[in-house]
Amino acid sequence: MSDDITSLSPASPNGEEISEQVDAPKLSRVRKRKRRRHRWGRHAPILILIGLLILGWVLYGLVWPLLEIRHKIATTKWKIYPDDPEISVSIRIMMRTCEYLYCFWFFYLGASIGSFINVVASRVPRGMTIVSRGSHCPYCDRRLSLLDNTPVFGWVALRGRCRSCHLPIAPRYLIMEIVVGAIFMSLAVVELMGNGMNLPYREWKFGSGIVNTVFYPKWNLIGTCAIHASLFAVAVMLIGSHMDRLRFPSLPLIVIGVIYIACATFQPLVAPVRWIEPWGPNYPRMTPVPWERLQTSMIGLAAGTLIGLGFAALLWFTLLRPKDSVDSSIEGALLDDSPTHEQSYAFPWFVHSIVIFLLTGALLGWQVVFNVGLAASLLTPLILSFLSFEKWTGFSKDPVLRPQVLALAILTITLFLHHLLWRQLALLPFLPFRSES
């Protein structure tokens, strides 16, 4: 009995061999399971994202065409022949698949531009270069690889952490990429595939659809969509700079404003509404005289400056201005000749707000500026009050939740929704533009 116990004891050589022989298969299986679970857990986010994309294609590209055909057969009074292309399953699946890939391509294009906007919004106000050095981790300064720098997919694959130092990457980068991607995809669907269905004075019903968009491109409409998309990209860029408590430089914004004035002057489709409306007669198209279009753009520029200044002043002095109970240590740390805590954040807020209105007026006209300014001035206090920001005694330490950033975001969302519904809103009688088309 004692010999058996001694032989199985870890101190004896024979006991060690027997213990290893008995426990080695169990330990190897446990290690394999742990490695397998770790591997699946590490790749689960990117696999879920790819699975959602495939599921979206199955629902839109395979299931939806079958439902369309069934509905068409059930609601058609006339006899349908089997070779009718309207009920062809293969043609329907091919068209829906092309539309799905079309939307995904524009979303990925917008997400790539959103990734670049993140870099511009953070580096340009600091005077850093955006050309010579690629994206890198802000903690360990390791340069991101091509796969890690892939928009949306790279952040999800890394699970929001640096591959080298494993420190968290701010979700702001993912959010801005998704937002800009959604903006580009929506404009591509409404303005390109919809043949400008959101633009006033445009006959959009003939020539819309994926076939006419891909095989019969309308280059003036493509240029117009690109210009409109750049307007919202600039607005998102200003929001990104305001998240970092930075003011974007004036020179690039002046260059962008000059480009927008030139586009509105030489491209009638960019701003199809004349400055004299609604008092003057309605026209089927914008006037072909460049001087009148330049006049329209300059009046919109002036209106955007005035309305933007009023919007920024109204929100700043009524809702966004810091209270008297701001941390005195911050103010005490400032020198006498340095700007106060309030002034250091008031000036960027005024600049960024006015620039969004200014560029909108130069590109789309004073009517859009008036409508968006009125709607944003009403919605912003309501939304911020609903989020209980009035109980704050100062600025939040979290830059994403600051009321100023959210106010700019609400303004941009209001402008984007107005742009998507521009044609429908133009029919409302109480807005400063009416259309009889």
Give the confidence band of 417 by pLDDT, cuts at 50, 70, 90. very high
Residue 350: closest CA among 212, 238, 240, 201: 238
The whole-number pLDDT of residue 14 equals 47
Q: What is the pLDDT of residues 164-219, one digit of tens each?
A: 777 888 888 899 999 999 999 999 999 999 988 888 878 888 888 888 888 888 88
Across the chain, which distance is largest between two alpha carbons, in Å? 112
Element (H, E) at 243: helix 219-243
- Residue 355's pLDDT band, with cuts at 50, 70 and 90, is very high
Task: List Cβ neighbours of 362 (8 Å cut-off, separation of 6 or more).
Answer: 257, 260, 261, 264, 297, 298, 300, 301, 304
- Residue 395 is predicted with a pLDDT of 42
Of the pLDDT bands very low, low, confident and very high (cuts 50, 70, 90), residue 239 is: very high
pLDDT in tens, 23-37: 556 556 666 666 666
Return d(Cα 347, Cα 96) in angstroms, integer: 49
Question: Tens digit of pLDDT for each residue in 97-150?
Answer: 999 999 999 999 999 999 999 888 888 888 887 777 777 777 777 777 777 788
pLDDT digits (tens, 9 = 90+) for 277-306: 776 555 445 556 778 888 889 999 999 999
**Above 90 in pLDDT, residue 419?**
yes
pLDDT at residue 332, rounded to an integer: 38
Helices 250-266 and 219-243 meet at what angle, rounded to 10?
160
At 262-284, the pLDDT tens digits run 998 888 788 788 777 776 555 44
- pLDDT tens, residue by residue, 54-81: 999 999 999 988 888 888 888 877 777 7
